[in-house]
Amino acid sequence: MAHQKEIALNVVRTLQKAGYTALFAGGCVRDELLGRTPKDYDVATDAYPEEVENLFPKTIPLGKAFGVIAVIDGKETVEVATFREELGTLDGRHPESIQFSAAKEDALRRDFTINGIFYDPIKDQLHDYIHGQRDLKKQIITAIGNPEERFRDDHLRMLRAIRFTHNLGFSLDPKTEAAIRSMAHLIKKISAERIEAELTRILTDSPKPGDALQHLHDVGLLEHILPEIIPMIGQKQPPQFHPEGDVFEHTVLMLNLMNETPKETTYTPRELAYTLLLHDVGKPPTATIGPGTDGKPRIRFDGHAQVGANMAEKILTDLKFPNKEKKHIVEAIRGHMRFMDVQNMRISTLRKMIGAETFDLEMELHRLDCLGSHAMLDNYNFVRSYQTEMANEPILPEPWISGHDLIALGIKEGQQIGKILKEAYNAQMENRFASREKLLEWIKTKT
């Protein structure tokens, strides 16, 4: 990121030498004032797009109609935006038209005060027209000017308000929050891709993503972006297994524990976040009263893992999730109840579970599921212990027996071959035979 900052500094320097105003803008200024490392650097200027293009050898008209030009230097890109005012709203996301302006007018059309500060890195001078520094010190997210107007201009800003509040650990200005409550239904006009991007950052970048989820519900946004979650609120669970409360409270607790997850994983933070969020979404539609292990009636959720997997697949499809991540999440949700049986599983079944592509994700889901409820990790520790025992051999070895071997034994192609191959592989993994030859002898006795 230091390299990109140097390139952004060079962009500012070049623009200023040409006689234009050029300043760092938005999130990079906010993050540097907070002592955080910016993800990228943006430049705002009074130079028109064509003038920016003339000053730099390689540019892309990223959003030229809105005054945004990307300056390319090697593998780095710095967005350069002409100061502008936005007039009217076209679709709750984009303005009807713009007109180029000066820095103050540009600051007044931005979303939140902490994002409206400009910084001149050459003169080491801040330009704050909207009390952004004050709100940074107060650690509060406040809409610039009239919050209803800010959210009417761009409905996605309501989700961004929750994101900044919880990513930064700030509080939300009461007037800004009140505006979100009254306008929350408008979020339905925003595309699924935009909602997913903001929701993902809320869940993966917040120190306590469960609290952020609760906040989304409190302001009325959750029911419009994920209506399937709402029935989880108030859905009671058997207290002997879930002393923490209802299904939603359980999910909030698990999400809040997510940042204690090991950093080296085979799954992405997004995969884990949505797996936790949706793992029990199938409980409300499957809730019944039936006998427990003691014969007494209790709340049951028979089949909720499969129902939840089906629901999760639809939710993630609607959110335009990548197919690979969607598949991993759905598979983890579908299999999450099988950990109840690991200590009684056949060795072959256990090894197949451990060898599955989604196993690490399933293990972390199980661990957090336990910690967010009864806190008993017996099954988790059993599986980890078995993994340690198996550390020096492949968990899923190459099969000793192939279809060609069975055909050579005179077995006709068809379902019987598949059945025998499965039995043979299970026997191999359970160490029931010392060699391939012994296994073949056993197969001959079965045909």
Q: Which of 100-114, 233-247, 306-320, 403-417 has the lowest mean pLDDT?
A: 403-417
Dihedral Cα 426, 432, 433, 439, nearest 10 deg = -40
What is the arithmetic mean of pLDDT over 20-34? 97
Give per-residue pLDDT as tens, 186-206.
999 999 999 999 999 999 999
| Residue-level pLDDT at 378 | 95
What is the arithmetic mean of pLDDT over 109-113? 97
State which amino acid sits at residue 23: L
In this prediction, residue 446 has a pLDDT band, given cuts at 50, 70 and 90, of confident
Give per-residue pLDDT as tens, 148-180.
999 999 999 999 999 999 999 999 999 999 999
| Residue-level pLDDT at 1 | 58
| Residue-level pLDDT at 94 | 77
Signed CA dihedral, 396, 397, 403, 407: sign only: negative
Domain boundaries of the chain, sorted by first residue = 1-138, 141-225, 245-396, 403-446
In this prediction, residue 411 has a pLDDT band, given cuts at 50, 70 and 90, of confident
Task: Please name the residues in contact with 429: beta carbons below 8 A apart, sequence gap of 6 or more.
Answer: 347, 348, 351, 352, 396, 397
- Would you say 163 and 130 are in contact if contact means Cβ atoms under 8 Å apart? no
Q: Is the pLDDT of residue 142 over 70?
A: yes
Share of the chain above pLDDT 90, in %: 82
Q: Is the pLDDT of residue 96 over 90?
A: no
| Residue-level pLDDT at 346 | 95
Is the CATH code 1.10.1660 the one for domain 245-396? no
| Residue-level pLDDT at 276 | 98
Average pLDDT score over the chain: 94
The whole-angstrom separation of Cα 317 and Cα 234 is 26
| Residue-level pLDDT at 2 | 67
| Residue-level pLDDT at 81 | 97
| Residue-level pLDDT at 335 | 95
Give per-residue pLDDT as tens, 218-276.
999 999 999 999 999 999 998 888 888 899 999 999 999 998 767 678 999 999 999 99
**pTM of the entire predicted model:** 0.91
In this prediction, residue 410 has a pLDDT band, given cuts at 50, 70 and 90, of confident
- HEC assignment per residue over the chain: CHHHHHHHHHHHHHHHHCCCCEEEECHHHHHHHCCCCCCCCEEEECCCHHHHHHHCCCEEEEEHHHCEEEEEECCEEEEEEECEEEECCCCCCCCCEEEECCHHHHHHCCCEHHHCCEEECCCCEEECCCCHHHHHHHCEECECCCHHHHHHHCCCHHHHHHHHHHHHCCEECHHHHHHHHHHHHHHHHCCHHHHHHHHHHHHHHCCCHHHHHHHHHHCCCHHHHCHHHHHHCCCCCCCCCCCCCCHHHHHHHHHHHHHHCCCCCCCCHHHHHHHHHHCCCCHHHHCEEEECCCCCEEEECCCHHHHHHHHHHHHHHHCCCCHHHHHHHHHHHHCHHHHHHHHHCCHHHHHHHHHCCCHHHHHHHHHHHHHCCCCCCHHHHHHHHHHHHCCCCCCCCCCCCCHHHHHHCCCCCCHHHHHHHHHHHHHHHCCCCCCHHHHHHHHHHHC
Q: How far is CA 407 from CA 133, 443, 444, 447, in A?
A: 77, 12, 12, 11
Q: Is the pLDDT of residue 127 over 80?
A: yes
In this prediction, residue 357 has a pLDDT band, given cuts at 50, 70 and 90, of very high
- Would you say 20 and 3 are in contact if contact means Cβ atoms under 8 Å apart? no
| Residue-level pLDDT at 396 | 93
- Would you say 371 and 257 are in contact if contact means Cβ atoms under 8 Å apart? yes
The whole-angstrom separation of Cα 23 and Cα 9 is 9
| Closest by CA position to 304, among listed 231, 216, 380 | 231
What is the arithmetic mean of pLDDT over 305-314? 98
CATH assignment of 1-138, among 3.30.460.10, 3.40.50.1100, 3.40.50.10420, 3.40.50.300:
3.30.460.10
Strands 76-82 and 68-73: antiparallel
The whole-angstrom separation of Cα 60 and Cα 64 is 9
Q: Is the pLDDT of residue 415 over 90?
A: no
| Closest by CA position to 65, among listed 48, 47, 90 | 48
Share of the chain above pLDDT 70, in %: 99
Q: Is the pLDDT of residue 447 over 70?
A: no
Give per-residue pLDDT as tens, 63-94.
888 899 999 998 899 999 999 998 777 777 77
- Would you say 126 and 117 are in contact if contact means Cβ atoms under 8 Å apart? yes
Q: What class has domain 141-225?
A: mainly alpha
